[in-house]
Amino acid sequence: MRLLDTHTGHFIEVSDISNIKYAILSHTWDTGGEQTYEEVRNIQIDYPIQRVSSRAKQPSIAWASRAYSRIRRRCCRRSSDRDNEVAVSEDWPSDLWGDHRLAEKIKKSCEVARNHGYRLLWIDSCCINKSSSSELSEAINSMYAWYGHATICYAFLADVPYMFDYSEGSPFRDSRWFKRGWTLQELIAPKHVVFLSKDWRPLGSKGTMAAVVEEITGIDRQVLTHKTSFDTVSVAQRMSWAAKRETTRTEDRAYSLLGIFDLNMPTLYGEGERAFQRLQEEILRRIPDQSLFAWGHVCTWQDPLPVSPTGIHDLPRGFGVDLPQNGSLSKHVTSFFASSPSDFAMSGTVGSMAEDDYLRCVGESDVPHLDYTTTPYGIRSQFLVLPLQAYFPDDEIRAELQRDIDDLSELYLAILRCHTSQLNIGRPNHCLARLCSIVLSPSKGEVVRGREMRLRRRDPYKSTRFEYEIRTFAVLPLTMTKLKDCLHHLRIRSAYMPHPDRTVVSRAPTSFRPYRTFDDPGDLKLSPYTTLVLHAWGYDVEFREPTSGALAFTYSLILRRRQYVLQLNISDFRHLVSLVGGRYVNVAAAWLFTEEEAQHHRLPLSTYQGPVPHGAARYIDDAGFRPIVLRKPNNGLAIVIRLGIEREETSDYSSSYFVHVEVEESDTAHYSSGGSTVDVMPELEEARRLPERYLRLYQRPDT
């Protein structure tokens, strides 16, 4: 470990930190970069340690120090705390602290530590030689221990003035320091943390401000103050602490958590999100805790699946269930592993379960051990599962589910050894279950993948009969009673959690990636990029905004090229009829005509009336619009339409969007089963069956 001498400003090397006292700095890096090890070394060379006679007058400066070599020997050998105290020395640098090249942050942090009696200080930005990959990897894997062994940690909040206001919205609560990934372990590992304002004055300590810091970070104050061991905190809860934190490098979101889970692993910059996958695999090997799988949308409804497994059909009024199409799920949802700590944002109350509590809940003594085997096909393990079709014996409900998925028998609830404290009074009275599919792969055996479920219930806080609460969940609670009722349906299944697929760089522009919160088109515009490209490909482009009547809330794009005419509509309407009801649906519908056929229609066409669209797609969070495939008239080619939605960068709260459109001609056979059609859009079919006077129920009211 390389430390700074706060008196001389020079580095010293320490091989054993367990017997020395040192301070450590926690800070957020400046956007313009920090002073590096090489830069500080170049400054130090100009200020060699100078020796003077012991009879000479001692300097009047507060940082005069002992011989540099004696400090180094003392710091590297076993000695008592008294021996480690720093006394006035015969050696001092010429004027390093006055050099304008030395960063102010280094000067000030050394000054604070020196004034508090600490001879040695560690700063990550300048004490690590980052040009050495081996030294950087060692530092990352040792970081938690280094902060944990420090006598004191100074947390420098560069954006917080010297004030004692910790109320909601105060600079302290909004400090960038609480939002960075690396500062999580820097907050937890040291026993003593002192917060410093931007002018380097103390604001308080972690101990005295534990309640405030708990509110800001979500970390229990007993953990913050080292009164509770990490072993009592579930994996999911620890992950949730990092859910809203950011790092400059994607890999650091994983590497910054190594100390939180007491793990070591090689650092491989360039692997991207795979670093977090590797971290989770290491956690499985070391920590027997299935809360690692309780990520995503975690349901905390008291009774989310009210259907009785005994076959009683007393469904609560307004209850509904819906399964999103497998193809519409984003890639990370179908994995059993999370893609980043952000996926654990809703897992702060998820706790692990002791084995006796788990057995008591499931009413079963024969449960699989938490054993995971790494294979070329993925991580192999056993899961206690409940078939979803066994849970829903009601024919009507099962028929609705069957409409959404090809084979309902592939769906299971994997019963995890964890619970949420929001639903407990005393001992755990339920288990969390992850919705998943287990399918046979020709090369890998049985593979388990994640799924999601949309649930609807009457909103308990609304009085009108049509006010529903609709949520999408991946993890749901199953009570002891229901688990015991389902006991004879429980199964133990062995399956592989596959390794992540190779990342393929998409040829679509960034703006074609789905916009997660596109639920209100607002002001939709055709992007300039799209217009230029379509013109270059020989299309005449006409973009129409909504008018009234059947074309209300519908944006229409009409393309004419050679001997055919293409119309694309983007519409939204309220869908009240199906089980999942009460939500707004954004739909893209398309027609393809020859020039002669187009003359018989008054363009633009309505999504709801007139000719049935030749193809359609629904906007789905995390997946966007699926490609729409249309058969080109008079030949064997297909027209493939790809859509993307991008918020206009006028402000963070803008309701204006750009629509990006790509039109590609391809072989029909290549897309024979890949396109979206109206067959998979029951909402659109229902809207088209209604008389025109009822369309206002579906269309969004003026605001």
**C-alpha dihedral sign at 35, 40, 46, 52:** positive
* Structural contact between residues 112 and 196, judged by C-beta atoms closer than 8 angstroms: yes
Let me know whether 447 and 548 are in one domain: no
- What are the two backbone dihedrals, phi and then psi, of residue 217, each rounded to the nearest 5 degrees? -100, -20
Residue 194 lies inside a defined structural domain of this protein: yes
Let me know whether 290 and 208 are in one domain: no
Most confident of 271-275, 363-367, 559-563: 271-275
68 confidence band (pLDDT: 50, 70, 90): very low
Let me know whether 410 and 463 are in one domain: yes
Comparing 386-395, 457-466, 476-485, the range with the smallest average pLDDT is 457-466
Which three-class secondary structure state does DSSP give residue 20? coil
Residue 31 lies inside a defined structural domain of this protein: yes
CA-to-CA separations, 323 to 328, 396, 647, 684, in angstroms, rounded: 10, 14, 28, 17
pLDDT value at position 402?
52
Residue 681's CB: how many other CB atoms inside 10 A?
19
pLDDT value at position 657?
81
34 confidence band (pLDDT: 50, 70, 90): very high
647 confidence band (pLDDT: 50, 70, 90): confident
Tell me, rounded to whole angstroms, the distance of Cα 582 from its chain centroid: 28
Q: Which domain holds residue 694?
A: 510-698
Q: Which amino acid is at 659?
A: V
Let me know whether 328 and 255 are in one domain: no
3-state DSSP: the chain helix, strand, coil percent, rounded to 5?
Answer: 30, 25, 45
Spatial distance between the Cα atoms of 493 and 482, rounded to a whole number of angstroms: 20
Last residue of a domain, one of 473, 497, 521: 497
Let me know whether 479 and 546 are in one domain: no
Comparing 375-379, 464-468, 587-591, 602-606, the range with the smallest average pLDDT is 464-468
Residue 54 lies inside a defined structural domain of this protein: no
What tokens appear for 593 in the block?
């005509």
Q: Which residue has the higher pLDDT, 103 or 317?
A: 103
Comparing 464-473, 634-643, 662-671, the range with the smallest average pLDDT is 464-473
Last residue of a domain, one of 239, 270, 301: 270
Run of H or E including 112: helix 104-115
Give 490-522 pLDDT, tens digit per residue. Answer: 999 999 998 877 654 444 444 444 444 444 445
Q: Is the pLDDT of residue 630 over 80?
A: yes
Let me know whether 546 and 674 are in one domain: yes
Let me know whether 266 and 289 are in one domain: no
Spatial distance between the Cα atoms of 417 and 433, rounded to a whole number of angstroms: 9
What tokens appear for 311 in the block?
């076959």
Give 516-568 pLDDT, tens digit per residue. Answer: 444 444 578 898 889 999 999 899 999 988 876 656 678 899 999 888 899 99
Let me know whether 547 and 651 are in one domain: yes
Residue 354 lies inside a defined structural domain of this protein: yes
Based on the structure, what is the number of domains in the chain?
3
Let me know whether 654 and 514 are in one domain: yes
Rg of the chain on CA atoms, in Å: 31
What tokens appear for 247 in the block?
């790092």
Let me know whether 156 and 294 are in one domain: no
Let me know whether 291 and 402 are in one domain: yes
For 675-686, what is the mean pLDDT? 47
For 438-452, what is the mean pLDDT? 83
Residue 344 lies inside a defined structural domain of this protein: yes
Last residue of a domain, one of 247, 270, 293: 270
Transcribe 397-442 into DSSP letters: HHHHHHHH-S-GGGEEEEE-SEEEGGG-SSS--EEEEEEEEEEEET
Let me know whether 491 and 532 are in one domain: no
Residue 164 lies inside a defined structural domain of this protein: yes
Tell me, rounded to whole angstroms, the distance of Cα 114 from its chain centroid: 40
Residue 665 lies inside a defined structural domain of this protein: yes
Comparing 308-317, 408-417, 453-462, 585-594, the range with the smallest average pLDDT is 308-317
Residue 632 lies inside a defined structural domain of this protein: yes
Comparing 412-421, 463-472, 693-702, the range with the smallest average pLDDT is 693-702
